[in-house]
Amino acid sequence: MSNITVLVTGATGYIASHTIVELLNEGYEVIGIDNLVNSKKTVVSRITSLADKSLIFRNVDIRDYDELDRLFETYSINSVIHFAGYKAVGESMEKPMMYYSNNLKGSITLFEVMEKHGVKNLVFSSSCTVYGNEGESPVQESNSLCPTSPYGRTKLYVENALRDICAADNEWTVTALRYFNPIGAHDSGEIGEDPTGIPNNLLPFIAQVASGKREMLSIFGGDYNTPDGTCIRDYIHVSDIATGHIAALESITAKGFEAINLGTGKGYSVLEVVKTFEKVSGIKIAYKIVDRRPGDAEAVWADPTNAYKKLYWKAEHDLEKMCTDAWFWQIKNPNGYQSQFHKPVSSGVNTGSSMDVVNSPKNSQKARITA
C-alpha cells in the first residue's frame, strides 16, 4: 500500500489515532491533521512509536480552506478518512452553533478542497446517533434517521451532503461508518481515550473511579425493562473500529454513497460493564443508581450484517478485552497523555513493570500507581 497516501482529519483523536496505527502497519502513507482543540500533539509520537513508522502531521483546522488547499497541492493524496468534529451530545445541546460551525462548515470546506483536487474517495466517521432513540434493536441501516441532538444532526447533515455530492458526481465513492459505542484502548496501553475534565463516556469514568480519581459512578436509571434494570448498549473495542475503517478504505470500488453500521451485534448493560471491569481489575467499583436521563433509550445495539457482507469485517474483541485494555491504559497513563511515555508492552498478561495495581483491604476502592 506504499503508493497510497491517506489524509486523516482529527488525527490525534481517540478513534483516529488507533486507525492511523493500523494504516501505518498496513503500509499506507499517512498525513494527519488536527487543530488540537480536544487532543494533544504528543499522540503523534506515540503513534509513530507503536507503528515504528512516521507520519506527516500538520496543525490544521478543517475550516481553513487555504491550509487544506496547500496540503493537497503539496502531497499526492489518494483518499481521505474524515474524523474531525466535536462529539459530545450534551455539549452540543448547550453550544449548537459551535457544533454546526465546526462539524458542518468544516466538512463542507474539506469536500470542496477534495473536489478541486480530484480526490473523491472518502470514509466518513458517522455515528449511530443518526438513528435517534426510537425503533427496535438490532438497528439496521434502513431504520429511520431521527437524531435527537445537534451533534447527531450534524452527522446526518454531513451524510446527506455526501449523498447529494455522490448523486451529482458519479466519480465520488463514500462510505459512512455508523459506529456504536467505542471503548477500550490499544493493547500496548500507549494510546487510549483521554477525556478533558469529567468523562462523558461510561468506561473512562469507571476507570477513573477504579484508580481513585473519581469517587463514585452514577448510573442513570435502574428501572428499565432490561435484565438488571440498566440501559443496554453495543460497546465495541476501539481497535475493531479502527480495522473497520481500513476495511472500508480497501473496499472503495463501487461508486456512490454507502452507510454501514460498525458494532458487535450484542448489547451489554451498564451493570454488565461495571461487573466485567471489576473482574479484570480486581477492584470494586463504587456506584449509585440515580434518575434516568431524559432521552436515553432503553436498549440499542447494531445489526452489523452489512459490515460482514460488504466490508468483510467483524468485531473481534469481547467485553472483557475492552475492559482489560481500558484499565491498562488508565494505570499506565493516570493523567492521560500528560503521563510519562512508556515502552509499549502487551496488556494480555501481568507485565511485572513498575505500573502495578495494588489491591488490599485498605485500598479496595482505588489503584496505587508506583513509580
Which residues are the active-site residues? 151
CA 38 distance to own-chain centroid: 13
Other residues' Cβ atoms within 10 Å of the Cβ of residue 307: 25
DSSP 122-161: EEEEEEGGGG-S-SPSSBPTTS-----SHHHHHHHHHHHH
196: which 3 cell numbers? 478533558
CA 154 distance to own-chain centroid: 16
286: which 3 cell numbers? 463504587
Half-sphere exposure at residue 218, Cβ-oriented, CA atoms within 13 angstroms? 8
36: which 3 cell numbers? 488540537
Closest CA to 54 of 69, 32, 73, 82: 32
State how far the alpha carbon of 352 is from the alpha carbons of 232, 256, 355, 368, 370, in Å.
35, 51, 8, 14, 12
331 contacts 277 by C-beta, under 8 angstroms: no
Q: Which residues pair with 233 in a beta bridge?
A: 268, 300
State how far the alpha carbon of 206 is from the alpha carbons of 154, 190, 218, 267, in Å.
29, 19, 10, 18
**Residues near 158 by Cβ (< 8 Å), separated by ≥ 6?**
103, 104, 107, 124, 126
What's the start-to-end Cα distance of the chain, in Å?
Answer: 41
201 contacts 193 by C-beta, under 8 angstroms: yes
